[in-house]
Structure 1
Amino acid sequence: MSDMSMRGFDRANPASLQDLSPDLVGDRQYIASGNAGEPIGMILDISGSSSAVALDLKRLQECTEDADPSVALAGQVGSQIKIRVGRGWLLASVRAQRQDSKVDGGILASIDFLGEGDEEKLTGKIHGFRRGVTRYPIPGAMVYPATSNDLRQIYASDGRSSIQVGTVFPTRDIRAGLYIDALLGKHFALLGSTGTGKSTSAALILHKICESAPQGHIVMIDPHGEYAAAFRNTGLIFDTTNLQLPYWLMNFEEHCEVLLTARGEARQVDADILAKCLLQARMKNRLAEGMGKITVDSPIPYLLSDLSNILQNEMGKLDKGTNSIPYMRIKTKLDELKGDPRYQFMFSGVLVGDTMAEFIAKVFRLPAVGKPISIIDVSGVPSEVTSTVVAVLGRMIFDFAIWARDEETRPVLLVCEEAHRYVPNERNADGSSVGRILSRIAKEGRKYGVSLGLITQRPSDLAEGVLSQCGTIISMRLNNDRDQAFVKAAMPEGARGFLDSIPALRNRECIICGEGVSIPIRVAFDDLDEIKRPASADPSISELWRQSGGEEEMVQRTVMRWRAQGR
């Protein structure tokens, strides 16, 4: 190690400081009390957005006794430090550290630069903080602890619309805010292993958004029926009993997913038959007559009986070009859907009317009338069509936004819980339409005012391209090494120091980085009132197994519901 680094902590010799760096002349003018006013280390070298720093172990130990929690953590992994550059301050995050006997002070640390701010002449506080670096420090520049007052200025709202969701770690009173326009305009992802408080945190964020924008438009896909309890008073709950999703809203690709059962070459034959017959069925509607030319994808109502009859008639033609088996396959599947009570929310005779405008207004909350969120509970939807239902809803949101370009924009937020089910990575991809439409929303949605929120416990099973489109990533504890590595690869360089703490996060703690925050932060989420929490709490097995009584009646009631649903 050079003599320069060895002299770095000679605070009693001002001449040596001046020799080290011109920027340190400004350091001598900085007035602060206690540990915050004394350096804890020195810049050794600069490389792009990061730097190597020599930290003084003795000074770090002195800082741990400081009453300011930010100063007490100075120099530790994930903590913030500051370096004077000219008349301002550069903020950085400690990414890693190791003991090194060659370094004066005993510790060699790697830091990532976060941003810079100006110094108030009278108080010495940082103000006007902005992300990015325009002027780098010089090797030999001193490193100081960032105080809670510094962080309060840095995390203060810059006037943009924001919601407060928790407290910035390690402070006790600095509020963590999320900028709504940046959060939603460039999509977001909420990640966390099971049991970390992910569902409650998602409910908290959505409640805050609803409170901030009571006339908003939010659609949430709820695969487990957890969120109905949380939003019963602030939104509308849709499930198989009241969703009434008209089957004719499906495009041709979605019809194929539901009606075709063949595989390989036979599937293409069936698809050609279905396309021809479906178009004929749509053209029977008076709407089609008034519109002139329509396509097989046009959302024109048709009768299931018409489609069935057309299949029957085409099957009887001598010049049909194939045998009758493909026609029978499609017709048999269609009859099965019409007769199965599990599919009545979608394939019902009462859904044949032209209710498209009413359905869109109801589900997309247009107008919201003070209840800006729709919870689509798909837990009761048969698994064979769950992905198709989500695909129809997602595509309708996107198509509506495209065709409403000439109108005043009505942004819609689509939130998908268990997102890895719908947009899986290439290894698990099944070519379903839901993956394609959500991927398209991720890539193009913000042009049309469609925002995407992805919630998942397995980010490594999520399509990498979709996660990379999320401008804000909120990561709770992840226990799986593969998930941790995947998230680290998706996050910006400046957040790497925070990411190393992901496995050590407590429940309801998270790392937030990206467009929705000023700089990467570690946050302890606020508590939610019981009435606003999702029904996601794990049952206490030991307590429930101590209880007894009423089991026979419970089994009878369960069997009756089971049979009534046909599953």
Structure 2
Amino acid sequence: MSDMPGPGAFLRAAPLTGGFASASTAAAPVGVVFAIAGSSSRILLDRAAIAVLHDDSDPVVAAAGQVGSQIKMRVGATWLVANIRSLKLEDAAGTCVAAEIDYLGEGDEDKLTGKLYRFRRGVTRYPMPGCEVFPITTADLQQVYAADDRANITIGTVYPTADIPAALYVDAMLGKHFALVGSTGTGKSTSAALILHRICELAPQGHIVMIDPHGEYAAAFKSNGAIYDVSNLQMPYWLMNFEEHCEVFLTSSGSARQFDADILAKCLLAAKAKSRLGQEIAKLTVDAPIPYMLSDLTTIISAEMGKMDRAGDTAPYLRLKSKIDEIKADPRYGFMFSGMLVADTMASFLSRIFRLPGDGKPISIIDVSGVPSDITSVVVAVLARMTFDFAIWSRNEPQRPILLVCEEAHRYIPAGQEANSSVGRILGRIAKEGRKYGVSLGLITQRPSDLAEGVLSQCGTIIAMRLNNDRDQAFVRAAMPEGARGFLDSIPALRNRECIICGEGVTIPIRVSFDGLEEEKRPASGDPLFSELWRDVGGEDQIIGRTIQRWRAQGK
């Protein structure tokens, strides 16, 4: 025999004391608390009482009893708010439904009206079994999700309402990193653009660097951002540290790679020491961002090669020299390895990229879609490391926090391989230590399960859109706090432009419908309309001709 109470439990429940005035049917209880635990509990809902609410004019009340909806319980002079995580039919007659709930927080009760106000996270007093359960109302949610005096941005509305604004606390979100995850086609890029536009509006003198691997975001920020690609990035090669030099210049593997690296370190240090800036530094290191000429480096390599007694010993020097000469001669690498970039332009480069000053354009879009694929990760590594190193070496200066946003983050911090590349190591380090130095990391990915283990858990705020893959869902679920479990179960059922937000950037876990974004502020990531575009005919010869011309010129 089950010891669960039947439908009669609702009749035997303790009477409501100090009732409150309400025109809505939400004034009537819909269930009772059955079992209590620390972070979650079990309640019993009366199906008949829930059915009465379905036609309520308040959409929040009408959604009462559904998975992901909220309920409230009176405990003394406070209202305890909880989220429904799961439902199960409890009795054979079908009149009683058992629900697992997660506590969200509590708010004070107005003695005259019974309304909830001054909501805060956490629970100080738990209800006793038998305590009555009430549906939550729109007025309650307005109090629950009301933004406090902290700096915040509005990005949409709280589901299922159309008028309760959903706010993100910017300092809390950026101070402890954030991640935006969602399957392709869910509106992830547009939502990322919306959040960044709202941040730019709040802080028009901010400092945001976005790595854009597909060239999507230039269209979204052409009015309030600085757009850089291979045609105008002009990133000097000598900004690379030794590790990044090795990734570009070394072609060998195994024990030969270490031998080549030793030669490169010696010759690179000598080339940097030849420059005027290098001569002014007493203890010059191979990692110091000192301008040097590639021709000096190859000359020093040739000189060292000439000291070898046997012809067989010259192979490492020849490998290095030929690779450097190959990169110098290849126009695809001109944005970084041009001879024009030998001057000391570090100050102007940092000023441009970090928006110091921003001149009303607080975001830099770094379009790396035109960068040769074999050095894309090195370019991203240099940009990320420059951000981190600038924050470290400017600690004694007036602080200028920087937000680094990395689209398609799983490409740069892949699971199990984060220690094998410079970009994986530096982004992992920013995730772990960046907060101390004023560097915030924003990760955007469609495959969170492919991210390096631990990186997602370093993100204090997680914005989860629909995820279709079970592994991705499990990965996000593991990174989210326990109190958000009820919301997480609805991730596969989210509509486009909807998300679950939990963590530091919100008071409690929240389901949000994103605001619409003006056409001119959207990224160029829309899906093609095959049924319409395939009706267009004519001009194919010209299309092919122009395409081939750009193809052969590599976009120049």
TM-score norm. by structure 1 comes to: 0.95
Aligned-partner Cα distance in 2 for 1:41–1:171: 23
Question: Contact 2:308 / 2:314 at 8 angstroms: preserved in 1?
Answer: no
Measure the CA separation in 1 of the matches of 2:402 and 2:311.
46
2:9 is matched with: 8
Aligned to 1:545: 534
Deviations along 1:369-414, whole A, 9 cap, x unmatched? 1000000000000000000000000000000001100011101000
CA distance in 1, matches of 2:20, 2:511: 28
- Count of aligned positions: 555
8 A Cα contact 2:16 2:132, kept in partner: no
Name the counterpart of 1:13: none
1:190 aligns with: 180
Structure 2 segments unaligned to the other structure (5+ residues): none
CA distance in 2, matches of 1:496, 1:63: 25
Aligned runs of 1:379-528 on 2, under 5 Å?
Answer: 379-426=369-416, 428-429=417-418, 431-528=420-517
2:296 paired with 1:300: no
Distance across 2 between alignment mates of 1:142 and 1:321 = 90
Task: Classify 1:150/1:322 alpha carbon distance in 2 versus 1 (closer, same or farther; 3 Å).
Answer: farther
Once the two structures are superposed, the pairs formed by residues 371-382 of structure 1 within 5 Å of their partners are 371-382=361-372
* Partners of 1:59 and 1:69 in 2: CA distance: 16
For residues 131 and 104 of structure 1, do their structure 2 counterparts lie closer, same or farther at Cα, with a shift above 3 Å needed? farther
SS of residue matched to 1:301: coil
Offset of residue 4 of structure 1: 6.1
Corresponding residue of 1:561? 550
Superposed displacement of residue 542, structure 1: 2.3
Q: In structure 1, what is the equivalent of residue 335 of structure 2?
A: 345
Give the structure 1 partner of residue 88 of structure 2.
98
Rate the CA distance shift 1:270–1:396 in 2: closer, same or farther, 3 A. same
Q: Cα deviations across residues 454-508 of structure 1 (Å, max 9, x unaligned)?
A: 0000011011211001011001111111111111111111111111111111110
Aligned to 1:107: 97
Displacement after TM superposition at 1:103 (Å):
9.4
Equivalent residues of 2:232, 2:335 under 8 A apart: yes
SS of alignment partner, residue 384 of structure 1: helix
* 1:429, distance to aligned residue in structure 2 (A): 4.5
Contact 2:186 2:497 in 1 (8 A): yes
Question: Is contact 1:342-1:566 (8 Å) kept?
Answer: no
What secondary structure, in the 3-state scheme, does the structure 1 residue paired with 2:432 have? helix
Candidates 173, 194, 199, aligned match of 2:189: 199
Letter of the 1:377 counterpart: D
CA distance change for structure 1 residues 284 and 54 in 2, over 3 Å: closer, same or farther?
same
Q: State the identity %.
A: 66
The counterpart of 1:17, out of the listed 10, 13, 17, is 13
2:122 is the alignment partner of 1:132? yes
Aligned match of 2:313: 323
Report how far residue 337 of structure 1 moved: 0.5
How far apart are the structure 1 equivalents of 2:555 and 2:128?
Answer: 73
Find the aligned partners of 2:33 and 2:276 in 1 and give their Cα distance: 76
Distance 1:75 1:326, change over 3 A: same
What do residues 225-277 of structure 1 show as CA deviations (whole Å, max 9, x unaligned)?
00000000000000000000000000000000001111111111111111111
CA apart distance, 1:182:
0.7
SS of the counterpart of 1:344?
helix
SS at match of 1:387: helix
1:221-370 alignment to 2 at 5 Å?
Answer: 221-318=211-308, 323-370=313-360
Q: Is the 8 A contact 1:9 1:104 kept in 2?
A: no
Q: Which residue of 1 aligns with 2:67?
A: 77
Question: How big is the shift at 1:550?
Answer: 1.4
Is the 1:476–1:510 contact (alpha carbons within 8 Å) kept by the matching residues of 2?
yes
**Contact 2:87/2:100 (8 A) holds in 1:** yes
**Residue type matched to 1:478 in 2?**
L
Once the 2 structures are TM-superposed, how far is the Cα of residue 47 of structure 1 from its aligned partner?
Answer: 1.4
* Structure 2 counterpart SS, 1:295: coil
CA–CA distance in structure 2, aligned partners of residues 323 and 335 of structure 1 = 20
